[in-house]
Chains A and B, each alone.
Chain A
Amino acid sequence: MFETPTIADFLAQSNLASTLPGTLLVLWTLILVLVDLFLPEERQRWTPILACVGLGISFVANLFVYSPAESEQIALYGMFVADAFTGFLNVVILVATLIAILMSWDYLNRADIHRGEYYVLALLSSAGAMFMVGANDLIIIFVALELLSIPLYILAAFRSIKNDGSDLALKSEESGMKYFILGAFSSAFLVFGSALVYGATGTTNIPEIFSLASAIAGSVSSAAFYLIIGAALLFVGLGFKVAVVPFHMWTPDVYEGAPTPVTAFMSVTAKIGGFAAMLRLLVSGLAALVIVDGEPVAWQATVSLVAVLTLVLGNFVAISQRNLKRMLAYSSIAHAGYILVAVAATGTTGVADAATQSALVYMLAYMFTNLGAFAVVMSIEREDGSGGNIEDITGLARSRPLMAMAMTIFMLSLTGIPLTAGFVGKFMVFASAVQAGLFGLAIIGVLTSVVSAFYYMRVVVNMYLRDSSGDLQPALETSAVRWAINIALAGTVIFGVFYPLATNLVSSVSIT
């Protein structure tokens, strides 16, 4: 049964070259662990610099693997697929990690918890996300998801390594613990769903599931039943990761308690990984469940319903938040809802590609904007953790005009005002929803973004329209976080003003 493969055969089948962006990053990380051990105390800043070098290497590898002329490549015995979808999201993940590392350098020093392991964990997590976006097999989805999540659990609790019994350390510990327990819980759903799908189809490979599913779904048999239940459980498991209603309960506490750069990082990468896997499963794998005889079926209605709940709850609850991190947490739930609108639109025949592309553009816009907003919040936070409330940014336009301007642009982008990346994302998503015939969903989507304007604009109101009575705050942040804000701002504005840039980048994406 077990044949010993020849080396040549192994190389051909595994096609390791096309997984290089991810594998190189993992290798670099493993080296970084050792290097960090031997770095003397006064050279601590080398670790983040080396981590950024690792991101650069991975980025270059990504350019080589995904030159646009190449069509999709299958690797690791069919378990991994390197196509335009993977290549695009890899870049998004790498940029997100870069911004997060720039933020972290500043934060860790300020909080006096600088440890080299932090960067190692962050890189591992982003490698996990990179494998997840290319996963072509239920098993890889699970393994990559764990690689993505486990470092995040640790990172969420990172503040508590300085065990001073402060409120911050406790909250961070709570955050990590909560995230871990609920994360493990959701993984169980994912694994059980995979098992049921495997039971129904006899394979865990997504393209093979695709070819088998239509026959099974059309039949009246227990296999069809298991397939549907399995698919639903997979959706629940991924739904936890991307924090859509009703699987969002953990989000506000975890986001508030975790160190701010970690919150920023996980609000982006975990969502990208989760949505990528969700799109692969629904579009490439289980299309037969979604579309029967060319008509969208109950599946689309379910996703639409979840999207509506997510949009409404995320946006309305965000209104009542006073803490900026908590507000951004609820807003990130709402943004998951907008991406879900695109996911729902994939369920209509002929719209799948357009909707997938719109989801990718949305994730790109969300990545820049959300990281930027978190970076601003982080730089006005004080060491004792205070300063993160909506009142604390009052008069920021006077004390730090450039930062206030950046924050304004991030808020406008999150609202979806034209000339920012957020508008391009929203426009693409609603265009695909309209094309898919989901008018109700599109209308709820735009109306909830008016609701979101209310709480985003409140931030701008406090920065510009009110004047602080107290003293002007001194600048606490270092140049690293300023760079993080600048990169995020550049992305938000460039992709917003030069609309064709984003659409051209994703124009070759097709996962059907």
Chain B
Amino acid sequence: MDLTGLSLTTITLFIPMIGLAILLFMNGETQRDNIKWVAFGTSIVAFVASVLMWVNFDPSVAELQMVQRNTWAEVSLGESVINISYFVGVDGISLLLVLLTTFIMPIAILGSFGSNIFEERGREKLYYIFMMLLEWSMIGVFVIHDLIIFYVFWEVTLVPMYFLIGIWGAEERIYAAVKFFLYTMAGSILMLIAILYVGNKSGTFSTYSAAGDVGVIEMVQTYEGEGSYWDPVPDEEEDAGFLLSSVESFLFLGFLVAFAIKVPIFPFHSWLPDAHVQAPTAGSVILAGVLLKMGTYGIVRFNLTMFPEAAVAWAPTIAFLGVVGIIYGAWVSYAQDNVKKLVAYSSVSHLGFVVLGIFALNSQGLQGATLQMVNHGISTGGLFLIVGMLYERWHTKEMADYGGIWKMMPAFGAISLVISLSSMGLPGLNGFIGEFTILMGSLGSEYLGFAFTLFATLGVIMAAVYLLKMFQHVFMGEHDNPLSDETRYKLQWNEIAAFIPILIMIFWIGIQPIVFFNMLDMSVDSIVALFLP
């Protein structure tokens, strides 16, 4: 094997695989205590590697960095031969999401230390193996720039998540796991057809140009001739027929449906509450923290760059669905009595902002959306951790069963307050930065009207309503459901360790967002350049 082109991206990508290999050779019974440390250690090493990537990253360059590209296989399609290549590299958007992944993983693993799911269901080794597999495939989704290999990683994320929900989940876990698997697979498999069409048409599966080979995006951008790249025959009544009859529009939808189900954008969200509520705590944290971002990332990375005309044509529709998601998610969230379901629906609402920001199709909207992906990962991940810790102690998810917890666990209450406030977008914390930039973007968008911003702003207010409701019911009032074991009122060391990095990030992004915006500047500009009039 040729290792000369080995890049830091590859190393980061395969660190979880090394951890997985070590875990495979450990004995699940006799070395039970060491297993979690191996998994945790691996995730920390992966985090360090991704921080090294950040150190090496040059934010003044728009192109992919730390690139590695090796031809992996050749597919002969008739007379032409198409290369499938192992093509990794990061730009600002990818890097930020890789950092998010490697940041969330150790927290999720710490959060599952000593969890009572292992007493009930056992199989601790298998659990951490799936965690490693999940981390590997999620990092892969964010760094791969070959459509086929991207699809491989995209589908592989399903398998560990399916098992995490199905084996270690709550009562309705089987229903939730099967629904999650089928729903997301149904969406993504149509993307395979679209990918095959793209490859067949352009003769390559690489999206970006590298090493002299022209990628799909460059072909689309540099196309000069009649019509567009995907629809070379000029359409006389272009505006009228474009949405429903052009090839580009179909390809756009082929990709979009896969991503929309993952996000989830409004009418495709019904798998999410089930999966979130039934998943074990770490599963929910990863699901909210990273997995949903794969959808929004995919839209930015593939839909916008490869099908810019269709993106413009569809922008109002999708942004409308995003706004509906904001309002609807918030509304349904407010109506929940189940605290985990409340947080789950809040994801629908928050991701609606991200979708709105993306389809503003300008620099602020896109930067805000990308940063908001990270913010949501941190805040909602944190909220799920809180819910998980409550459940470990009281074994209920009903809000009515809680109350007055702040009195008994003052530190925990304070932490929860900060995370809730960050999620509802209090200025000075991270959520505000993302939502504010998105709203700026949508207000200044060429393609969206004023009403989009107006209704989205309503969503910010509603977020405060449902999150404060949750906080009030759980943490304030009388404490009438005391624990039999007094010592459980104390936070455990691993719980504190999981919260500290979350709090640091909440304040860091809130106070010094410029660090992160700098990282995104050039990458976002190169995408937005497609939509400048």
Contact = CB atoms under 8 A, between A and B. Distances in A.
A59 to B, nearest CB: 26
A306 B253 CA distance: 28
Contact of A450 (B84, B182, B193, B196): B182
A68 interface: no
Given A417-B159, A428-B75, A461 B174 contact: yes
Interface in B117-155: 148, 151-153, 155
Contact of B200 (A427, A434, A450): A434
Give the contact-size bracket for chain A: 35 or more
Contact of B74 (A418, A423, A439, A503): A503
Contacts, number: 97
B77 A354 contact: yes
Interface stretch (B184-192, B229-237, B351-359, B435-443): B184-192
A450 B159 contact: no
Given A454-B182, A457-B178, A446 B190 contact: yes
Contacts of A442: 193, 196
Contacts of B153: 418
A466 B78 contact: no
Contacts of A430: 192-193, 196
B329 to A, nearest CB: 26
A435 interface: yes
B195 to A, nearest CB: 9
Contacts of A412: 159
A457 B193 contact: no
A350 interface: yes
Interface string A354-370: 10010000000000000
B527 to A, nearest CB: 27
Nearest to B197: A434
B179 to A, nearest CB: 10
Interface string B178-221: 10011001100110110011011000000000000000000000
A447 B182 CA distance: 11
A361 to B, nearest CB: 10
B182 A427 contact: no
B2 to A, nearest CB: 14
A457 B181 contact: yes
B166 interface: yes
B155 A466 contact: no
Q: Chain A at the B interface: mostly helix, strand, loop or mixed?
A: helix
B29 to A, nearest CB: 12
B167 interface: yes
Given A357-B76, A431-B75, A446-B189, A417 B197 contact: no
Given A350-B79, A431-B75, A443 B193 contact: yes
Given A357-B76, A466-B174, A419 B182 contact: no
A464 B84 contact: no
A16 interface: no
A465 B173 contact: yes
A452 B61 CA distance: 46
B516 to A, nearest CB: 32
Contacts of A86: none
Contact of B156 (A417, A446, A457, A466): A417
Interface string A440-463: 001100110110011001100100
Contacts of B74: 500, 503, 507
Q: Chain B at the A interface: mostly helix, strand, loop or mixed?
A: helix
Nearest to A351: B78
A381 interface: no
Nearest to A467: B121
A499 interface: yes
A453 B159 contact: no
A447 B257 CA distance: 13
B18 interface: no
A435 B181 CA distance: 29
B196 A503 contact: no
A354 B78 contact: yes
Given A431-B77, A465-B166, A500 B72 contact: yes
Interface string B270-307: 00000000000000000000000000000000000000
A498 to B, nearest CB: 9
B178 A418 contact: no
Nearest to B82: A431
Contacts of A331: none
B497 interface: no
Contacts of B163: 464
A432 interface: yes
A463 to B, nearest CB: 11
A312 to B, nearest CB: 15
A353 interface: yes
Contact of A418 (B152, B166, B182, B190): B152
B73 interface: yes
A450 B73 contact: no
A453 B177 CA distance: 12
A453 B182 contact: yes
A431 B200 contact: yes
B506 to A, nearest CB: 36
Nearest to A437: B200
B158 interface: yes
A339 B153 CA distance: 25
- The CB with the most chain B CB atoms within 10 A, among A357, A443, A447, A461, is that of A461
B168 to A, nearest CB: 10
Contacts of A427: 148, 192
Contacts of B156: 417-419
Interface string A55-82: 0000000000000000000000000000
B197 A450 contact: no
B171 to A, nearest CB: 12
- The CB with the most chain B CB atoms within 10 A, among A350, A449, A464, is that of A464
Contacts of B166: 461, 464-465
Contact of B158 (A354, A417, A428, A461): A417
A353 B197 CA distance: 18
Interface string B97-113: 00000000000000000
B190 A443 contact: yes
A500 B148 CA distance: 13
- The CB with the most chain B CB atoms within 10 A, among A417, A450, A499, is that of A450
- The CB with the most chain A CB atoms within 10 A, among B75, B156, B186, B199, is that of B75
Contacts of A466: 174
Contacts of B76: 353-354, 357, 503, 507
A420 B159 CA distance: 12
A428 B162 CA distance: 26
B417 to A, nearest CB: 37
Nearest to A498: B73
A503 B181 CA distance: 29
- The CB with the most chain B CB atoms within 10 A, among A354, A465, A503, is that of A465
A466 B156 CA distance: 23
B73 A499 contact: yes
Given A453-B181, A466-B174, A500 B73 contact: yes
A434 B75 contact: no
Contacts of B181: 453, 457
B178 A449 contact: no
Nearest to A507: B76
A412 B162 CA distance: 12
19 contacts: A357-B76, A418-B156, A419-B156, A430-B193, A430-B196, A431-B75, A431-B196, A435-B200, A443-B193, A447-B189, A454-B182, A457-B162, A457-B181, A457-B182, A464-B166, A465-B177, A466-B174, A499-B84, A500-B72
Interface of A: 350-351, 353-354, 357, 412, 417-419, 423, 427-428, 430-432, 434-435, 439, 442-443, 446-447, 449-450, 453-454, 457-458, 461, 464-466, 499-500, 503, 507
Given A357-B76, A447-B190, A500-B72, 14 more contacts: A351-B77, A354-B76, A417-B159, A427-B192, A435-B77, A443-B190, A449-B189, A453-B182, A454-B178, A458-B178, A465-B173, A465-B174, A500-B74, A507-B76
7 nearest CB pairs, A to B:
A418-B152, A500-B73, A434-B196, A446-B189, A465-B166, A350-B78, A450-B186
